[in-house]
Each structure stands twice: as structure tokens, then as C-alpha cells.
Amino acid sequence: MSNVDRRQFLKLVGAGGVGAGAGFMLAESIKHPVEYLIPYPIPPEEFSPGIATWYNSVCGMCPAGCGISVRTREGRAKKIEGNPLHPVNQGRLCALGQAGLQSLYNPDRLTGPMLQSGERGSEEFIQTTWEESLATVAHRLAAARDGGKNIYLLSEGVRGHLAMLLERFMGGLGSEHLMHYDFAHPHALYAANQRLFGEHALPYYDIRNTRYLLSFGADYLSNWLSPVHHSLGFGHSRQGTDLDRGRFVQIEAKMSLSGAAADEWIPARPGSEGILALGLAHQILAGGSYTGSDFDDWNAALENYSADSVAERTGVAAKTIVRLASEFTKAEPGLAIGGGAVDNHSNAVDTLVAVNLLNYLVGNIGKPGGVVFNSDPVVGGPANNRQANFIAMQQLAEQARQGAIDVLIVNNTNPVFTLPHASGFREALASIPMIVSLSSFMDETTTMADVILPSHSYLESWGDDMPQPGLGFPVAAISQPVVSPLYNTRATGDIILDLAGKLGMKDSMPWDSMEACLKDGWRQIYERSSPDASDFDTFWRDVLVSGVWGEDIHRQDTVVVDKSVIDNIDVAEPEFSGDSEQYPFFLHPYMSTAMYDGRGANLPWMQELPDPMTSIVYGSWVEMNPATAKRLGLLDGDLVSIASEHGSLEAPVVIFPAIMPEVIAMPIGQGHNAFGRYARDRGVNPLQILAPITATSSGSLATHATRVSLTATGRRAPPVQTGGETRQLGRNIVQFTDAGSTPGGHSANLNSIPIVVKTT
Amino acid sequence: MNFIDRFMASWRKYRKPGYYEEFDYAWTMTIDLDRCTGCGACVTACQAENNIPIVGEKELGRGREMQWIRIERYWEGEYPNAKLSFIPMLCQHCDAAPCETVCPVSATYHNQDGLNTQIYNRCIGTRSCAVYCPYEVRYFNYYDHHWDAPLEQQLNPDVTVREKGVMEKCTFCVQRIRQAKDHAKDDGRRRVKDGEVQPACVQTCPSEAMTFGDRKDANSVVAKKMNDPRAYHVLEETNTLPSVVYLKKVSANAD
């Protein structure tokens, strides 16, 4: 790389059409914009028209932290691909990650700072300047700080130096109320790991090297923790080694994408998955392979979980339980994971402890193909200790209602959409005198803001990230701007630093930009890592070019489970809202790759990506078992009303072959009443009718604890489906072979290179 | 030799499997159905790379989707033994492509790399090719499509934006193949190396189900995968000689 100043370079590159940087805006607004046919008659030094430039950065579409390489041409981002050097995704990327470009070039982005001019939620805003809006906010924050009033900061789950900045900023304001809120955060998994392993963290689940994966509800190929990494592991375990083909078993009430990929899909009664896990543990102990010194304690604790009693409680056949336990024990190694619905029942922590116990009993802790613990991230201390669970969010709402919150700053998170109506969160916001939103889009929460400080897209910002869950060794990656800012927006870090400067916090935050802050912070990484680079500047450039930094440090742990945990091992009966007479069905709301928690809804590519299980685009639906539909006299496309104790919705029926008869499933993500033209007024949001039941000891929302009733409306509203016939009808399009079959058959001379075709 | 004889001679030459033997490459894709999870990353990667328009809900409701690669799904059995299988379906780049013989203006033809290509500005929109294609992977532009500003800034400058009345389909990312050939030439190599070029779908596939390469190179990854006993062609009985090779899904039934 040459000596060209990067920022200057990016400004030059982007100065063609409307894409001028914030610094240019003032000057540009006075004169008529000049448009060039070829935007750069004199291109910057390292830039040739027609030749793509690639920048490595970090994906910001979900919390997994995949590395990306962005292809830019003439200063515009054209394509996002995975960064092959990044160990999380190794060059691969999911659909949502690919669609990040449409979040950058989204027609509904916020283009400049705004002040609410009408009623809250009316979406009447007037444009303002950064100077004025920041001065307003700083003035208000200073008054609140000096007056001893409460300031809350509610952020999306951020990591690395931005997390550190938020800590210091709130520290400087003398406020304890820094909360991270992510809808999909696995609170119960953290709590379960704390209870069994004494560690409030996510371990690395080594799917790549396992030969037998027992997944309790975790949709690990679609949205659970780190789906791209899990997919890589899945592919490798299936067909990437000379070892036996990996076998995958999925236990869940409604078949997810991972359930479809599994070799065996086993429906278990909602909320009983933990009992099944303890039943398997009982069988493992009975099999005699576990030889730990606490064998007798476990045996005593699990004596009530014989196959027959577990079969009765879970609805899984006793024969199957015995077989699963035996297969799991014999596998070298086997791995058990839990998430999705299992993470979202009232007994989620018990259940996940039971799932983790399986890993403990077959001795795969700290082993390849098992559960590997991570060391603390290199920057920012133990991650996610600020994550707010549902109880914390309800407390926030309660504080607001009591008038105890003076200023609420929201950073790029949308609790108004993802929290149920019953939480009263949206209404509580009305009692907060000042709400400031840092967001790129007019989402439901931002419509409630008094001041909007529009933030950059992740493709325009500096930042860094330590992926969670880690990979068993420390990894850090730098996020760098790949295009110059499109609009009059600012990076979240720069906004915080600016406010900090105005509030006299220069001592703890001396940097004048996020970039400077990062560079300063990465000096520590440079010093601890003794890299090949001769000086820091070389190291910094190397990291920017590769996009990622890693360290070969692995923890060696032995886990000893406390006797009190063993004695108290149990899975409580799941709690459900609504009685079974009036509300006969369990509601199963689920996330998809495309929509995630609803953030994909404003991206047209994601709206047009057919749901893999149903091929539906643009809309909401409710899935039910063919027997259920028959009993209720419902056909595909009939509009039904789904009612819980806390509200009702209307959605069309989709008959789905792999769902339990007493369960109905609805996708999360649609049903926005703001968030731009592609998302708005489309479908329904099942999260809105959930009961405010929390999981014991993790305090997270039990999204699967709501019972509902179904009523036909007599109307039809078939969803738009791209797929055709769902059965093969003898066409043999997808062909199968037996696992144990040996190569054979005849050799057909096709395409002049022989393909061996097996005759059946 | 009269016109009819000349026509028949070249016709027979054209229909002979492997008639392109004298050319350099035979691009081939393999898709391992035992690895495919149906996640749809390939679909979005293709849309981003190839300037595929956003059609809108109304047009999609009329079956006018525009996705050069799609995920087909097939159910087997009934609850509780229902199973779902996915198969990515894209232009198979058949060596004996039914779409090519039927085009009245030769807008679709076989190029020297064994690709089935579409010349957009020659296409007059009869849609015959779409009717003849047994894989249903050809998509017609019923309208001029529109990108809400500034979404058009994302459009790939290496790929044409198609207009109303034109048929389009998967190209195996011919722009990437061209670029790889140029690079090879710049480096003084006669051939593109195995793995040097990957279409957008193959590049992004999170479970590494897809591979791409030249089957004329016996050491290439695709040539090896083609010799896997699981290899098969979809709708083989139609004798279209596809360049996309699927690997059978392994059904590991319990007990």
C-alpha cells in the first residue's frame, strides 16, 4: 500500500454522484452538483478504473462476526464475499451477509440528523445539523448528569473497542445503566454453562470434528450462534473426511432447516427436551462407559429417568431413547447442543444443563469434536456481561413509567419490534422525556425518538470485533470503511467520542475519531503478540490487509461439576400461558436466516429469498400439521386468526408435514409498521402476542411459552410461493444412496468423462 | 453439396456428444446433496453478482420470479417420518441443450468452453427455450426492472442489466471465467488453474457443497467428484448431457 491517506482516498473515490463524504456536504450544497460521465478523470494513485479493489472487514448483519471481503469498483461496493483468512467463515457467507449491500444502499436510509416535530410515533421529523443535534443531546446529558437524573444507554450487542467506548462514556456520565439488547441472545445457554461448568461464557462447539451431533432444537445451520461456521463444520463432518460420515440428529417440535439436514428428526413434546436429555444421561450411565469419580452421585440423581418414564413424559419412544444413547456414547466423539426453542422455554436453563451434561458424561469437554472453552477476548474483557434479559427490559420500562429515566439513548437495536406488547415497552417510552436514537433506519424504536443521530452502515465505519462464540483460540478482526459515507451520517464511535468531548470526558477518551481509538487499542495487541512486523504501522497495515488477527493459545481445562449441582439436577415442568382448553396449541415462533430477528425485512433480496422450507416470499404464515388442518377443516391459504391471552393476529395456513399436531409455527421477522418501504405493513409479528413469561434463572423471554387458539376467518389469503410440486412423483430429481453402499454400478460414458452411475 | 446436406452435416456434428473436444475447457459444477443445507446463500450471492432484478410481490405471485439458481424442496413420507430434501437448481449447461436447437434467432448457443450462453441483444423473446428446458431454469423479463435509488449503485459493472422482452439464465458467472482467463494470459499461462475461478454461488456456499472447475483436467476437483459413485445427472433420461453433476444424498435410516 502506498502513502495515500486512506480517508482522503475514500473521499476522492466516492465523490462522483451523491456519495460525497460528510466533510464535503456543506460546500457541495451551495453549488450545483457536477456529474462526470467517468467519475474520476484523474483517479487516485492506487486505483485504476475497471479494476476492482477488495477491502477486508467484518460482517455486521448478525452477531456471529464473520470476516468479509468487499469488492469495490470505482468507489462503490459491488459484492460481499467471505474473507478466506477469517477462521469463523473461511471465505463463506450466508444469504443475510450477502445482502449487507442492500443495507448500505438501502433507499430508506436516514440521511441526516433529525428532530421529532410531531407526536412520538407520528414519524414527523425536521432535518437539522450535526452541530445543533449533538449540542442538544450534550446539553441534555450534562443537565441530567449534573442534576443526578438517570441516563440509560440501550445498545445492540457490541464488542471490541466500541463496547469499551460505551462503557467509558456511561462511566463518565456516572450512570450504571448501560444495557446491550439482542433478541436472539442465548441468555439461558450462558446461565446453563455457568451452573454446570462455572463459566458465564459460550464455549466452542466443534461440529467439524464430531461424528454424531445431537441437536436439541438448535437451528445451527440457519441462525444459532455462528451458522456459517457450523455449516462449514456440517459439510466437513458429512463428506469432508475419510472417517465415517458424521451423523446428525435433531430433536424439536417443528422441523427447522437443521432438522431437514439431519439424518433423523425426532419430535418431542414442547419443553420436555431436557427430560429427554436426562433420560439419555441415565442410559449413558447404565451403559457403563462413564467412569468418573462422581459416578455414584450421578447415578443416584438420575435414577428416576428410566427410558420408560422418559418416553411417557416426552413422547419419544423408549426404544429410540436407548438407541440414541448408545449411538451417542459409541460415536468418537459425539456432541450435544441445545438452542432455538430449547433456549426459549421457561425451563430453558435446566434443559440446557441437561444437554451439556451429555457432553460431560461422554468426556468430550476440551476435546476435538466436543466442547472447547474460550479464553477472554483480547479487548474489552469478558463479553456480553451487559446483555439485558427480559426482566431487565421490563425494569427499564417500569423505571420509565415511574418517570425515573430522563434520557434514553438507543443504539441500533429495535426492542419495540422484538418485545411482546404485554411488556408495555412501547407505551413506557412515552414517559421518557428525551429519547436519542443512533440508527441507520427508521425502525419502530427510532420512530419514538426525539433526536435521531443517523449512524453509518457497517460498511462505512471503523470498528473491531472478537467473534462470539470464539473458536477456542483468540481471534480479533478489524472493520474498515469500504466506501465513503453516502449520506450525512456518522459512525457510532465518532458520535460517542464527539459527545464525550462536549461533556468533558477527554481524559478517559482522548481520541478524536474511532479510527484513532482503534489504532491506539491495537497497539496493545501488537505488543502482546510479537508479530513478524518490525513496527506498529507495518503491523496495522498487515492487519488491515488480512482483516483478521489470531493467536495460537488454547485453554486446557478439566471440568469438575459441583456436588450440589449433581444433587439438584432436574428439569422443571415448562410453564405455559393460557389454559389448554381455550388455547389448545403451542405457538412456536422461529427465526429464519433471511429475516433473523426482523432486521432482514427491509432488504428486498431477503424479502425475495424463498423460505427454504415452504418457498414463501413476502409475508407471514402459520404452519400446521396436516392432521390438525384436516381436523379444523382448513386448507392451504385459508386465513386464520391466532389468538393468545395477549392479543391476536391473522395469517394464512401453510400445511407443513414435519410439525407436531399440537404445535403451530410462525416465522419471526415480518409485521413491521415502520422500517422502510420493503418491510412496512407486510405480514404479522408473532412476538407481539407472546405472554411475558421468563425462563427461570436466566430471566430471558420464554418465546415458546404461549398457548394460542385458532379460528377460521372464512377468508382466503394464499401466501406467494415460488416453489411448485413438493413431492417427487417418481421424477427422481433428488436421488439417494444407502450409507453403507459400496461403489459399484455401471460406468456411463457421459460428457466424454465417465461418470459411474449406480443402478438401482 | 446442397443446402440441406450442409445443414444436416453441421447439425450432426453439433449434436454429437463431446463435439467441443477441440476446445480448451469444459466447465462443470458439482453439487453434493449430502452437504447442501438449503440455506439459500447461493441464491442471494447470485442475485448480487448478476444484477438480477427485484421482481416484487405481485409479479412473484404470477410465477415470474427471477432467480438463476433456486432451492427446490421435496418432501418424502408423512409425519412423524417426514423428510425434506433440498436441491439447488440452475442452468445445467447441457451439452445437448434442447433450448439451443429451438431458438429461432440463435440467441442461445454453445460456446467454446461448453457453456450454454444467452446473447441478450439477439433475443427476440419468443420464450421457446423456456418451454423446451426440462429444468425450468430460464427466466423471462416481462418488464423493464427498476432499482430504487441508490440500490443501483450496487450493480455489477461486469454484467449487463437485461431489458424487457429478453430471456436470461445462469451463465456460470462467465464474467469471472473471462477474468480468470485474462489473468492466466497476463501471467503467461495457457490455462486457468483449478480453483482459480468460482461462480458466486460456489464461492459463498457455507457447507462447501458446490465445486466448480474444468472436467477436461483429470486432476481437477470436479473430475474427481464426477467419478464418485454418488454422481448423477438430474433427468438423465432426457439425454441432455448436463454440465452440472449432483452427488446423491446419503439416506442413513435408523435401524
Q: What is the pLDDT of residues A104-125, one digit of tens each?
A: 999 999 999 999 998 888 889 9
B27 → chain A, closest CA residue: A751
Output the pLDDT for position A37: 60
In 3-state terms, chain B is what percent helix, strand and coil (to 5)? 30, 20, 55
Q: Indicate the residue of B54, B86, B227 with minimum beta-carbon distance to A260.
A: B86
Output the pLDDT for position A25: 37
pLDDT at A652 over 90: yes
Output the pLDDT for position A747: 35
Q: Does A73 touch chain B (CB under 8 A)?
A: yes
- Using a CB-CB cut-off of 8 Å, the residues of chain B touching A608 are 47, 54-55, 60, 65, 67
Contact B87 A733 (CB under 8 A): yes
Measured at the CA of A401, the angle between CA A396 and CA A403, to 5 degrees, comes to 95
Output the pLDDT for position A742: 42
Q: Is A655 helix (H, G, I), strand (E, B) or coil?
A: strand
**Is residue B4 in some structural domain?**
no
Q: How far is A484 from chain B (nearest CA, A)?
A: 13
3-state secondary structure A534-593: CCHHHHHHHHHHHCEEECCCCCCCCCCCCHHHHHCCCCCCCCCECCCCCCCEEEEEECEC
pLDDT at A73 over 70: yes
C-alpha cell at A287: 451403559
- Using a CB-CB cut-off of 8 Å, the residues of chain B touching A236 are 208
pLDDT at A583 over 90: yes
**Is residue B70 in some structural domain?**
yes
Higher pLDDT, A32 or A442: A442
Q: How far is B8 from chain A (nearest CA, A)?
A: 22
Q: Indicate the residue of A79, A106, A722 with minimum beta-carbon distance to B70.
A: A722
pLDDT band at A760 (very low <50, low <70, confident <90, very high): very low
Q: Indicate the residue of A265, A657, A752 with minimum beta-carbon distance to B18.
A: A752
Contact B231 A756 (CB under 8 A): yes
Q: Does A610 touch chain B (CB under 8 A)?
A: yes
Q: Rounded to whole angstroms, what are the CA distances from A658 to A318, A612, A627?
A: 21, 14, 11
Q: Does A40 touch chain B (CB under 8 A)?
A: no
**Is residue B10 in some structural domain?**
no
Percent with pLDDT over 90 in chain A: 76
Q: Indicate the residue of A73, A257, A323 with minimum beta-carbon distance to B37.
A: A257
Contact A657 B78 (CB under 8 A): yes
Measured at the CA of A598, the angle between CA A230 and CA B87, to 5 degrees, comes to 45
pLDDT at A30 over 80: no
- Using a CB-CB cut-off of 8 Å, the residues of chain B touching A655 are none
pLDDT digit string (tens) for chain B, length 255 residues: 788 888 777 776 666 555 555 567 889 999 999 999 999 999 999 999 999 999 999 999 999 999 999 999 999 999 999 999 999 999 999 988 999 999 999 999 988 888 999 999 999 999 999 999 999 999 999 999 999 989 999 999 999 999 999 999 999 999 999 999 999 999 998 889 999 999 999 999 999 999 999 988 889 999 999 999 999 999 999 989 999 999 999 987 644
Q: What is the mean pLDDT of chain A?
A: 89
Q: Does B113 touch chain A (CB under 8 A)?
A: no
Q: Does A753 touch chain B (CB under 8 A)?
A: yes
| Average pLDDT score over residue span A352-356 | 96
B26 → chain A, closest CA residue: A751
Contact A101 B65 (CB under 8 A): no
Count contacts between A and B (CB, < 8 Å).
288
Output the pLDDT for position A31: 47
B49 → chain A, closest CA residue: A79
Q: Does A508 touch chain B (CB under 8 A)?
A: no
- Taking the C-alpha atoms of residue A631 and residue A633, their distance in angstroms, rounded to an integer, is 5
Which B-chain residues 144-183 have CB contacts (< 8 A) with chain A? 148-157
| Average pLDDT score over residue span A328-357 | 94
Domain that holds residue B215: 27-247
Q: Rounded to whole angstroms, what are the CA distances from B149 to A107, A111, A190, A701?
A: 6, 13, 43, 39
pLDDT band at A295 (very low <50, low <70, confident <90, very high): very high
Q: How far is A89 from chain B (nearest CA, A)?
A: 8
Q: Does B228 touch chain A (CB under 8 A)?
A: yes
Measured at the CA of A236, the angle between CA A232 and CA A241, to 5 degrees, comes to 160
Output the pLDDT for position A9: 36
pLDDT at A395 over 90: yes
Percent with pLDDT over 70 in chain A: 89
Q: Does A317 touch chain B (CB under 8 A)?
A: no
Total domain count, chain B:
1
Q: Rounded to whole angstroms, what are the CA distances from A148 to A144, A502, A591?
A: 6, 18, 41
**Is residue B67 in some structural domain?**
yes
pLDDT band at A6 (very low <50, low <70, confident <90, very high): very low
Q: Indicate the residue of A94, A606, A756 with minimum beta-carbon distance to B206.
A: A94
Which B-chain residues 35-64 have CB contacts (< 8 A) with chain A? 35, 37-41, 43-45, 47-49, 54-55, 57, 60-61, 63
Output the pLDDT for position A739: 63
- Taking the C-alpha atoms of residue A154 and residue B220, their distance in angstroms, rounded to an integer, is 52
**Is residue B122 in some structural domain?**
yes
Contact A757 B236 (CB under 8 A): yes
Output the pLDDT for position A35: 58
Mean pLDDT is lowest, of A14-18, A245-249, B165-169, for A14-18
- Residue pair A541/A549 in contact (Cβ under 8 Å)? The answer is no
Contact A102 B154 (CB under 8 A): yes
Cis peptide before B80 (omega within 30 of 0): yes
- Using a CB-CB cut-off of 8 Å, the residues of chain B touching A661 are 79
Dihedral sign, Cα of residue A27, residue A676, residue A430, residue A168? negative
Q: How far is B159 from chain A (nearest CA, A)?
A: 11
A106 → chain B, closest CA residue: B151
Q: Indicate whether this complex's ipTM tops 0.85.
A: yes
B63 secondary structure, DSSP code: T
| Average pLDDT score over residue span A413-442 | 96
Contact B250 A625 (CB under 8 A): no
Measured at the CA of A229, the angle between CA A226 and CA A232, to 5 degrees, comes to 145
Which residues pair with residue A652 across a beta bridge? A639
pTM, two decimals, is: 0.91
Output the pLDDT for position A108: 96
pLDDT digit string, tens, across residues A168-218: 999 999 999 999 999 999 999 999 999 999 888 899 999 999 999 999 999
C-alpha cell at A750: 457421459
pLDDT digit string, tens, across residues A472-491: 888 999 999 999 999 999 99
Output the pLDDT for position A184: 94
pLDDT at A22 over 50: no
Q: Does B191 touch chain A (CB under 8 A)?
A: no
In chain A, the domains with their CATH numbers are 129-182+392-455+490-501 (3.40.50.740), 187-372 (3.40.228.10), 585-721 (2.40.40.20)
Q: Indicate the residue of B45, B65, B85 with minimum beta-carbon distance to A722.
A: B65
- Using a CB-CB cut-off of 8 Å, the residues of chain A touching B76 are 727-728
Which B-chain residues 71-90 have CB contacts (< 8 A) with chain A? 71-80, 82-87
- Using a CB-CB cut-off of 8 Å, the residues of chain A touching B216 are 753
Contact A743 B17 (CB under 8 A): no
pLDDT digit string, tens, across residues A546-576: 999 888 777 877 788 888 889 889 999 999 9
Q: Does A652 touch chain B (CB under 8 A)?
A: no
Q: Indicate the residue of B75, B228, B236 with minimum beta-carbon distance to A657.
A: B75
| Average pLDDT score over residue span A310-320 | 96
Contact B229 A751 (CB under 8 A): no
Contact B39 A227 (CB under 8 A): yes
Q: At what angle do helices A514-529 and A492-502 cross, to 10 degrees?
A: 110
Q: Does B224 touch chain A (CB under 8 A)?
A: no
Q: Mutating which of A70, A96, A617, A736 best tests the B interface, going by the most B Cβ atoms within 10 A? A: A736
Q: Does B115 touch chain A (CB under 8 A)?
A: no
| Average pLDDT score over residue span A526-552 | 84
Q: Indicate the residue of A260, A610, A626 with minimum beta-carbon distance to B84.
A: A260
- Taking the C-alpha atoms of residue A211 and residue B116, their distance in angstroms, rounded to an integer, is 40
- Taking the C-alpha atoms of residue B234 and residue A259, their distance in angstroms, rounded to an integer, is 25
B38 → chain A, closest CA residue: A612
- Residue pair B223/A753 in contact (Cβ under 8 Å)? The answer is yes
**Is residue B6 in some structural domain?**
no
Higher pLDDT, A674 or A757: A674
- Taking the C-alpha atoms of residue B87 and residue A260, their distance in angstroms, rounded to an integer, is 12
**Is residue B56 in some structural domain?**
yes
| CATH number of the domain to which B59 belongs | 3.30.70.20
